Amino acid sequence: MKLVDLTAGPMLEALHREVLATSFPPDQLVSLADLRKQIETGLVVVTAAVDGDGRVLGGVVGEWSPTSRVMLLSYLAVAADARGGGVGRFLYTGAVESWPARHHPCLVLAEVESPAGHSGSEAYGDPLARLRFYGRHGARLLELPYFQPALAPGLSRVPDLLLLVLHLDTEFHGAGGADTVAGEPLRQFMVEYFESTEGAVPDDPTASALLHAMAAPGGVPLRPVERHREVEMSVRG
- pLDDT for 153 equals 92
- Nearest in space to 48 (alpha carbons), one of 16, 83, 25: 16
Rama region for 69: left / alpha / beta (φ>0; ψ in -120 to 50; rest): left
- pLDDT for 237 equals 66
- CA 86: distance to chain centroid? 20
Task: Tell me the average confidence (pLDDT) per consecutive run of 10 residues in the chain, 237 residues long.
Answer: 95 96 93 96 96 95 96 95 92 94 95 83 79 94 96 93 96 94 96 96 96 94 93 80
Helix, strand, coil shares of the chain as percentages rounded to 5?
Answer: 35, 25, 35
- pLDDT for 149 equals 96
Contacts of 68 (CB under 8 A, 6+ apart): 107, 185, 186, 188, 189, 192
Rounded CA-CA distance 75/157 in Å is 16
State the fold for domain 2-230: Aminopeptidase (3.40.630)
Query: Which helix (H) or strand (E) covers residue 191, if one does?
Result: helix 183-197
- pLDDT for 121 equals 66
At residue 49, the 3 state secondary structure works out as strand
- pLDDT for 118 equals 72
At residue 172, the 3 state secondary structure works out as helix
What are the sequence ranges of the domains in the chain? 2-230
Distance set, CA 83 to CA 6, 19, 50, 183, 212 (Å): 21, 11, 14, 36, 38
Burial of 67 (0-12, 13-18, 19+ CB in 10 A): exposed
For β-strands 161-168 and 107-113, DSSP reports them as antiparallel
- pLDDT for 16 equals 97
Geometric angle at alpha carbon 98, from 71 and 108, rounded to 5°: 25
